[in-house]
């Protein structure tokens, strides 16, 4: 989370984007996807409080800095609150992101009441990272992304009283666009982006991408892989789709590229190789030593390590006792024995294995993706007086736990 000093020194992301046309998106979707979008969109309209509790939601202490509020209002992201009684509050804050042009802050609105009360179960088809590596064997790829994607989705006027907060000077404002921070937001964006990209499982056949390309979508990022000409041609169609529904795309529009970054992975189509992005490696190097972590920090670090290992093809069997130690501490957290802020207290042997895995990740050796790799997995079982357990480690790095 950005500090008060960051809020004054680091610029806010560009949020001045027009509203996209959801009616166009609806017309492209196949019946099943349209029905799902309508179900999720119905939650956006749902009040997080019973009618009898209207106006009784508890206001948070965080307020929007005056300079940020000015930018958000100018961009049409917020407006003065209407006369409707407040039905819910957001917690506004920003986080610092590293970009090629320097650091910037991303503004987030956390709708505490709606996130707690809305009966939402995620159904977003985001796969394990190993499923996104094989397209490096294609000749090239084109990459696109939606700019300030959540802010391109307009909120119905009758729902805006559910998403309010105050500016530093006390002014009561409400959101006019879909908040980044709402738990159903990623699925809404996934469907919208998939429609623009022509994902075959989402759109009607008339709008679907041809079989000569593979299209991958991750929330608001698009990759089109295939021959250089096919990837370039379908990218042009995606641009036309975006223009039709008034969607704003990012300025970094790689077309028919053989080297690019997607989902934290550096893809090299010329050598059919993958490695970690420079940004990812820097983030691993900046992490504190394993022996000094809290349980929350340990969980974050372990998840990053497993993600990186799946990309680099690292044999996780060699680090089983590190995974086991992390699993035990998280089990204690789930049972209420320890807190997220408690020291992780990993055994020295587990710390040593974890630091060895970190060293492997920092070396970031390119991995050649082969079309004929045989699938295999290791199953490691463990038993004690308290029960039994098993860890299944496929070559893909998609670790599964039972017991």
Residue 273 pLDDT: 98
Residue 225 pLDDT: 98
The set of residues, in sequence order, having a beta carbon less than 8 Å from that of 179 and lying 6+ positions away, is: 90, 108, 109, 110, 111, 150, 163, 185
Q: Which residues are bridge partners to 154 per DSSP? A: 177
Q: Which residues are bridge partners to 337 per DSSP? A: none
pLDDT at 386 over 70: no
50 pLDDT tier (thresholds 50, 70, 90): low
113 pLDDT tier (thresholds 50, 70, 90): confident
Residue 400 pLDDT: 75
**Rounded Cα gap, residues 248 and 192, in angstroms:** 12
**Rounded Cα gap, residues 32 and 41, in angstroms:** 14
Q: Give the mean pLDDT of 60-83.
A: 94
Residue 172 pLDDT: 97
Q: Which residues are bridge partners to 379 per DSSP? A: 392
Residue 221 pLDDT: 96
The tens digit of pLDDT for each residue in 136-166 reads 999 999 999 999 889 999 999 999 999 999 9
Q: Give the mean pLDDT of 387-397.
A: 72
pLDDT at 52 over 90: no
Q: 295-312 vs 348-363: helix axis angle to the nearest 10?
A: 40
State the residue for tokens 């499982």.
201
Contact 164, 176 (CB under 8 A): no
pLDDT at 51 over 60: no
The tens digit of pLDDT for each residue in 213-229 reads 999 999 999 999 999 99
Q: What is the pTM of this model?
A: 0.89
pLDDT at 376 over 80: no
Output b/e per residue, 229-249; b: 16+ Cβ within 10 A: ebbbbbbebbbebbeebebbb
Residue 133 pLDDT: 96
Residue 305 pLDDT: 95
What does DSSP assign to residue 206? Answer: G
**Rounded Cα gap, residues 145 and 132, in angstroms:** 16
């Amino acid at each position: 989370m950005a500090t008060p000093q960051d809020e004054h020194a680091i610029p806010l992301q560009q949020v001045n984007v027009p509203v996209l046309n959801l009616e166009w998106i609806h017309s492209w979707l196949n019946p099943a996807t349209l029905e799902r979008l309508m179900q999720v969109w119905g939650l956006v309209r749902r009040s997080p409080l019973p009618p009898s509790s209207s106006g009784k939601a508890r206001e948070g202490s965080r307020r929007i800095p005056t300079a940020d509020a000015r930018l958000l209002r100018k961009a049409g992201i917020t407006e003065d609150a209407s006369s409707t009684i407040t039905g819910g509050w957001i917690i506004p804050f920003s986080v610092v992101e590293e970009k090629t042009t320097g650091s910037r802050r991303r503004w987030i609105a956390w709708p505490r009441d709606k996130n707690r009360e809305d009966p939402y179960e995620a159904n977003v088809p985001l796969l394990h990272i190993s499923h996104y590596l094989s397209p490096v064997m294609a000749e090239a790829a084109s990459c696109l992304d939606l700019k300030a994607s959540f802010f391109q989705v307009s909120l119905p006027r009758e729902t805006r009283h559910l998403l309010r907060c105050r500016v530093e000077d006390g002014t009561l404002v409400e959101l006019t666009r879909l908040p980044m921070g709402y738990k159903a937001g990623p699925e809404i964006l996934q469907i919208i982006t998939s429609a623009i990209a022509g994902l075959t499982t989402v759109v009607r056949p008339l709008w679907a991408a041809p079989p000569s390309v593979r299209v991958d979508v991750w929330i608001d990022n698009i990759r089109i892989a295939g021959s250089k000409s096919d990837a370039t041609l379908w990218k042009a169609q995606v641009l036309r789709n975006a223009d039709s529904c008034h969607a704003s795309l990012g300025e970094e529009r790689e077309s028919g590229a053989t080297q690019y970054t997607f989902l934290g992975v550096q893809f090299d189509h010329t050598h059919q190789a993958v490695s970690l992005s420079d940004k990812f490696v820097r983030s691993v190097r900046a992490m504190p030593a394993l022996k000094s972590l809290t349980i929350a920090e340990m969980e974050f670090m372990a998840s990053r390590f497993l993600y990186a290992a799946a990309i680099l093809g690292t044999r996780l069997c060699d680090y089983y006792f590190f995974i086991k130690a992390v699993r035990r501490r998280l089990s204690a957290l789930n049972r209420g024995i320890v807190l997220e802020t408690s020291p992780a207290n990993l055994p020295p042997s587990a710390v040593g294995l974890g630091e060895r895995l970190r060293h492997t990740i920092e070396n970031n050796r390119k991995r050649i993706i082969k079309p004929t790799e045989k699938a295999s997995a290791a199953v490691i079982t463990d038993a004690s007086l308290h029960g039994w357990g098993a860890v299944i480690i496929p070559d893909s790095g998609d670790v599964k736990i039972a017991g």
